[in-house]
């Protein structure tokens, strides 16, 4: 009897590794490009010369995560009290982000943070949820801004606004907002880790790491997971997902043990 050839399987394995290597190379190249960009007040100065006074940078964190909220921040920097070392939050180590977040809060003319939870994300999609969180952060600023600077997005506001590719790596106000949003969300995910310890949220902050995906396959989604995201709804426990959804419309149905709230 002729044994099946292993070549197709080997070819798929090699191709898969090549694809992973290509993704990693592209990500590394993107980081190298971002690190070469200089974060300055150039955009703010251009707007100030037009007569605008209260210029806010706006950005979000957690858009690509599999669970938890998307968090947005808006920051109005004080040109008389500059914050040194601002740059894209993704390029900063966690300790430095936290230090800068404190400096931003101390020195900024105004700042605010807003969040949209995973249930709303599933209802309106992550793009619209990000815009909603950013708009809420802008509306919470006091004094109110008269111009907005955003990172590759626009929001439904009558306030004049400008959007920049890689804005969080080029524009100081947007970078400050990205840092506040990232630090706030990271703190929240560490708190959620205590409620849902099986997923390792404190380590990966809800993003799709190998550890997180393995936990999803083992335990199924938790109540804070974004069920519209493919790695969540495509996990190995569809029956738990179904029970969770049905329980919302039936007071008599009990949740599975892995999703049921603790009882006193």
Whether residue 1 has pLDDT greater than 90? no
More confident residue, 105 or 38: 105
Question: How far is 47 from 115, CA to CA, in rounded Å?
Answer: 28
Residue 172's pLDDT is: 97
Identify the architecture of domain 42-192 in CATH.
2-Layer Sandwich (3.30)
**CA angle 122-128-130, nearest 5°?**
95
Question: What is the chain's length?
Answer: 264
pLDDT average, residue stretch 84-104? 95
Most confident of 97-101, 231-235, 253-257: 97-101
Record the pTM: 0.79
Q: Residue 78's CB: how many other CB atoms inside 10 A?
A: 11
Whether residue 131 has pLDDT greater than 50? yes
Contact between 189 and 68 (Cβ < 8 Å): yes
Contact between 261 and 247 (Cβ < 8 Å): no
Domain spans of the chain?
Answer: 42-192, 197-247
pLDDT average, residue stretch 110-122? 98
More confident residue, 216 or 6: 216
pLDDT average, residue stretch 47-75? 97
Mean pLDDT of the chain: 84
pLDDT average, residue stretch 188-213? 97
Whether residue 255 has pLDDT greater than 50? no
More confident residue, 1 or 200: 200
pLDDT tens-digit series, residues 148-159: 999 999 999 999
pLDDT tens-digit series, residues 8-18: 655 655 565 55
Whether residue 242 has pLDDT greater than 90? no
Residue 27's pLDDT is: 56
pLDDT tens-digit series, residues 33-43: 666 788 999 99
- End-to-end Cα, the chain, rounded Å: 64
Residue 128: which pLDDT band, with cuts at 50, 70 and 90? very high
Residue with token string 């083992």:
218
The full 3-state SS of the chain, as one line of letters, equals CCCCCCHHHHHHHHHHHHHHHHHHHHHHHHHHHHHHCCCECHHHHHHHCCCCCCEEEEEEECCCCCECCEEEEEEECCCCCCCCCCCCHHHCCHHHHHHHHHHHHHHCCEEEEEEECHHHHHHHCHHHHHHHHHHHHHHCCCCCCCEEEEECCCCCCCCCEEEECCHHHHEHHHHHHHHHHHHHHHHHHHHHHHHCHHHCHHHHCCCCCHHHHHHHHHHCCCCCECCCCHHHHCCCCHHHHHHHHHHCCCCCCCCCCCCCCCCC
Both tokens of 5, joined, read: 């050839």
Rg (CA), the chain: 22
Whether residue 30 has pLDDT greater than 80? no
Cis peptide upstream of residue 143 (ω within 30 degrees of 0): yes
Whether residue 101 has pLDDT greater than 80? yes
List the single range of 31-35, 80-84, 217-221, 248-252 with lowest mean pLDDT: 248-252
């Amino acid at each position: 009897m002729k044994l099946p050839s292993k070549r197709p399987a080997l070819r798929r394995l090699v191709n898969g590794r090549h694809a992973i290597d290509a993704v990693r190379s592209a990500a590394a190249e993107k980081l190298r490009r971002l690190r070469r960009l200089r974060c300055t007040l150039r955009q703010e100065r251009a707007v100030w010369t037009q007569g605008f006074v209260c210029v806010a940078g706006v950005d979000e964190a957690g858009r690509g995560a599999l669970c938890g909220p998307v968090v947005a921040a808006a920051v109005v920097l004080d040109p008389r009290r500059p914050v040194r070392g601002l740059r894209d939050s993704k390029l900063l180590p966690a300790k430095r982000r936290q230090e800068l977040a404190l400096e931003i809060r101390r020195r900024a003319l105004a700042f605010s943070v807003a969040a949209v939870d995973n249930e709303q994300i599933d209802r309106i999609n992550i793009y619209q949820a990000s815009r909603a969180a950013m708009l809420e952060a802008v509306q919470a600023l006091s004094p109110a801004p008269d111009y907005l600077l955003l990172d590759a997005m626009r929001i439904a506001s009558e306030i004049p606004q400008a959007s920049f590719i890689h804005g969080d790596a080029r524009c100081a106000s947007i970078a400050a907002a990205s840092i506040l949003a990232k630090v706030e969300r990271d703190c929240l995910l560490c708190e959620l880790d205590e409620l849902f310890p099986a997923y390792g949220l404190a380590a990966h902050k809800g993003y799709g790491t190998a550890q997180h995906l393995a936990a999803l396959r083992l335990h199924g989604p938790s109540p804070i997971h974004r069920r519209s995201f493919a790695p969540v709804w495509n996990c190995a426990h569809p029956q738990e997902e179904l029970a969770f959804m049905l329980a919302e419309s039936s007071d008599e149905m009990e949740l599975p043990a892995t999703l049921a709230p603790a009882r006193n």
